[in-house]
A and B are shown apart, each in its own frame.
Chain A
């Protein structure tokens, strides 16, 4: 009875903690609105600055002036940019991002069919990066010496090697020469789970390589800093086993500064996925962006930019929640 009574006080956030947390999330959402506006408006303003007529580039130079004008009217290119932007925003609110100029398909349909590939790729890379980076960094902080120097060297190499080049090398070695995994393409999970996993291994490894060593280095420095704190010695004075001090106390404290850099890391990952999808011919958002760019397909490329911006907003929100969970002091602010 008494035990049950005491138990309540060890579980859950106090009510004030929850309120502060919701405030944090609300603030982030409010900050996200200008971001989405800027991305979409910049994209649109750029369209207005387009030298030449989009219709000409779609229909080619053999179409008549009348045909060009008709298409301009049909696509709304003859109206002022702000009107075009307003209409585009109104449609976007209903999930309509326009029609692809190249394929005449709905942009949302095209993007959604590519979204899964990129999500798998980016989520996979994030998991591998975070888990691998934190493990490597912790090991390096605890063992020090040689492991630390190797981490430093590998981190520098991981930073220096271009992702597309690493992808090409991995593809040549593991797929072309040793036939361990397919060289290119993507197999949906619904078709074959094994095929799906195999098609993801190399792209995820390529994407994770650069970020993992960066996170490892950050974790190492943060962990060293944490292990020198008074409360670690106080835990040792309690008689707590060393592994438990690291797993339960040091890791959580050391993760706080690492989590704050995850947002920047994720933005970098989105850039990397454009190159990596291209190397491995994965039909994701990145490949779509590259094709759209070569084909001058504005609605599609603007759509990709909006999707990526939403992705960044969602990830920043998750990071804030994670940050608040890790550091109780952040919930008060």
Chain B
């Protein structure tokens, strides 16, 4: 309750609602006139000091009639809500808690109930029990039960599977007691949300009935019948309509807002408020000049810095990363999750996620600056120059689109060709990816493929635009070991056959050793070491690389030996140590490691390391 009052909209709705209900309850004391006191001389007057909301066609005071008219409207709704909750909550609880046949039966009945046209059923009841509004309201309450049952049931199901309920059951607490002592209190929020929604619906419903003339008998007022009266005199005075409809709308609005506020409080906001699109620019300190791109490299990254906006603060996730990939070369980008390696990979094709953006540095592809490319130029780059294979092969496929058309679309984005030619090209691509029976695969939907097939499809898809660089983000992480080997072999063959350059992002040294010529090791947003793979495996210079190699399953002798884990955890972005990012976890750390930032220095031909313990080798 106090939490609700801290939400301005919810609190305002709650207070207005209370005021409306209190005012109607206190109508005999508050109303300035008797609701039926006619005064024909004052008929259809506008608002004045004597009649704050004016008068109707018989000169009756609208404010007084609204106050009295709220009583049947609100009491009717209260009856409907009571009936709905009294049936719906126990039924939903039992269905969700008991499961089995009770659940199936309840759901079947609820399904049929959902399809009943409520308004007409209520009219049937009213035509049978003429003038017996109470019976009609009870029926209406019953008709509003099915949606409530479904929601309470799924909430009860969720609570049922929680540990404390199991614990209570195992320790022999009777089911009824579990439901009332443990489950029901947890569903309070859900039930309150639904109760205010049902109240809103039933108010609309009962005022609608009253409008049709099936409510309180005239001349006693009700909000719905006042709206109907207002329609007769609309041409002369709109005041009655505005007041009567306004008060219904306001009450329903408050109930709806209250329901939303309670939902936000208890269930968590479901109408997402975050922007899906990344913010255009994140401000940050300008990075130092990253130096010239390497001549002759296919891809040259210099001083790349990536940050995301957290409130008013720009939090760096990648800091001053430089790397080069030559045509036809395979490079591994290695690190634990959280090292920033995926951010680097995604930034190369401008597909950073979660509001992250490149804030410094340059990405040069084939001599052209492609940093922050947008629009048509970015589309030509993506797929056409640089292809990207995501980590989850099935999640990367639109579940509603067959493989054939999906790949044909990718083909036609880069090569203008007739549809028939594109189809032929798709089959060729599938053959290139060594997919057995490519014609059948083209016909498949993603859910009909295995993970390994989906990854082969991803490879075929990546080749659609005849790219020169392929970025594969953990291409084997989601696959079985045997399939992993096949995919690695496929990538290797393609690299050799087509001269494709490959950047493999991975935490798995096995993949890197199989596939790559060179590896770049990242830790907490920085490159910490770079070397030819063979040298790295044999003589890693950086303490982190050595620990990472030791922790890799591929290097453990035969599983009997326990893998040495790196102590501690990788620091989250924004909490990086000022000097060496690895120093808090480094077994060899000295005072010098925490004094000042450590530069990345050449330690041999084509080798670099960011550690004060690795003596820099002077270049000739």
Contact = CB atoms under 8 A, between A and B. Distances in A.
Interface of A: 2-4, 6-7, 9-10, 14, 31, 34-35, 38-39, 42-43, 46-47, 49-51, 57, 141, 144-145, 152, 156-157, 159-165, 168-169, 172, 176, 217, 220-221, 224-225, 227-231, 233-241, 244, 248-249, 252-253, 256, 263-264, 267, 270-272, 274-275, 278-279, 289-290, 292-294, 296-298, 301-302, 304-305, 308-309, 311-313, 316, 326-329, 332
A160 B245 CA distance: 10
- Interface centre among A34, A47, A239, A272, by most B CB within 10 Å? A239
B212 A238 contact: no
Contacts of B130: 57, 296
Given A144-B277, A267-B118, A10 B399 contact: no
Contact of B379 (A161, A169, A240, A252): A240
Interface string B128-139: 111000000000
29 contacts: A6-B442, A31-B112, A38-B116, A42-B121, A141-B276, A145-B275, A161-B245, A164-B208, A165-B249, A168-B231, A224-B276, A227-B276, A228-B276, A231-B399, A236-B351, A236-B382, A239-B379, A239-B380, A264-B147, A270-B117, A270-B119, A271-B118, A274-B120, A292-B123, A292-B127, A296-B127, A297-B127, A304-B120, A328-B400
Given A231-B398, A296-B130, A238 B249 contact: no
Nearest to B214: A293
A161 B238 CA distance: 17
A293 B126 contact: yes
B382 A221 contact: no
Contacts of B401: 249
B556 interface: no
Interface stretch (B62-70, B421-429, B563-571): B421-429
A224 B424 CA distance: 35
Contacts of B395: 229-231
Contacts of B390: 230, 233-234, 237
A256 B400 CA distance: 10
Given A159-B252, A237-B390, 17 more contacts: A10-B443, A49-B129, A156-B257, A162-B245, A163-B208, A168-B234, A169-B245, A224-B276, A230-B395, A231-B398, A237-B388, A239-B414, A256-B400, A271-B205, A275-B119, A294-B127, A298-B127
Contacts of A270: 117, 119-120
Interface string B268-288: 001110011100000000000
Give the 8 A-B CB pairs with smallest separation, nearest first: A271-B119, A3-B420, A165-B245, A239-B383, A160-B253, A234-B396, A237-B388, A230-B395
Contact of B117 (A165, A308, A329): A308
Q: Is the interface of B mostly helix, strand, loop or mixed?
A: helix
B289 to A, nearest CB: 31
A327 B399 contact: yes
A235 B211 contact: no
A290 B387 contact: no
A6 B353 contact: no
A332 B399 CA distance: 13
Contact of A305 (B124, B213, B245): B124
Contact of A312 (B117, B260, B461, B465): B117
Given A3-B423, A289-B123, A267 B114 contact: yes
Contacts of B445: 328-329
Nearest to B414: A239
A5 B275 CA distance: 45
A157 B253 contact: yes
B78 interface: no
Given A301-B127, A328-B445, A274 B271 contact: no
B234 A176 contact: yes
B38 to A, nearest CB: 23
Contacts of B434: none
B128 A6 contact: no
